[in-house]
């Protein structure tokens, strides 16, 4: 058993993450796996509280997974767009599926880090931070 005095409480700088999407782990993994066939990064976009799109693109094609309000829970004050590397998100999503995490909460804002919150077996709550890929141009 873990001694509560040994567990470190990590303090994070407050991130101003304005979009929140609650999505089933298997839906996210399916979208990311499809995108990985053509791209190294994925883009997540929210359109207010109405829809979220997870997409990837190459020079010749584009893959999109669009989820409307009702398919996922969306809380967003406005439209947001950010890009993240698949090489870190896919293994994380696979681990969440293997651990039987039914859904995760993705929080992000335009060109900000992504914070993914999860709960394992209703007992352990954790989070995963992923730095954005900033597009030049």
What CATH number is given to the structural domain containing 85?
Answer: 3.70.10.10
Q: What is the block-wise mean pLDDT of the chain (137 residues), using blocks of 10 residues?
A: 57 81 97 97 95 95 95 94 96 95 96 94 89 80
Cβ pair 32, 124 in contact under 8 A: no
Which one, of 113, 110, 104, 101, lies nearest residue 76 by Cα?
110
Query: What is the per-residue pLDDT for 78?
Result: 93
Query: What is the per-residue pLDDT for 12?
Result: 61
Element at 97 (helix H, strand E): helix 86-98
Structural domain of 49: 19-130
In a domain, 43, yes or no: yes
In a domain, 10, yes or no: no
Query: What is the per-residue pLDDT for 4?
Result: 58
Query: What is the per-residue pLDDT for 9?
Result: 62
Query: What is the per-residue pLDDT for 86?
Result: 97
Domain count, the chain: 1
pTM above 0.85, yes or no: yes
Query: What is the per-residue pLDDT for 122?
Result: 82
CA distances from 31 to 8, 34, 77, 84, 106 (A): 34, 5, 24, 14, 14
Cβ neighbours of residue 62 closer than 8 Å, sequence gap 6 or more: 38, 55, 56
The residue with tokens 């398919």 is 71
Cross-strand partners of 74: 21
Query: What is the per-residue pLDDT for 124?
Result: 87
Query: What is the per-residue pLDDT for 84?
Result: 97
């Amino acid at each position: 058993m873990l001694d509560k005095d040994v567990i470190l409480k990590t303090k994070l700088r407050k991130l101003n993450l304005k979009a929140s999407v609650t999505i089933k782990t298997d839906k996210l993994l399916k979208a990311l796996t499809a995108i990985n066939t053509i791209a190294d990064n994925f883009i997540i976009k929210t359109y207010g509280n109405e829809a979220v799109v997870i997409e990837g693109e190459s020079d010749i094609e584009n893959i999109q997974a669009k989820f409307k309000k009702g398919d996922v829970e969306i809380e967003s004050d406005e439209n947001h767009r950010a890009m993240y590397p698949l090489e870190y998100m896919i293994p994380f999503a696979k681990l969440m599926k293997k651990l039987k995490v039914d859904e995760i909460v993705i929080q992000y804002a335009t060109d900000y880090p992504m914070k993914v919150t999860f709960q394992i077996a209703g007992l352990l709550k954790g989070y995963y931070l992923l730095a954005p890929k900033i597009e030049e141009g």
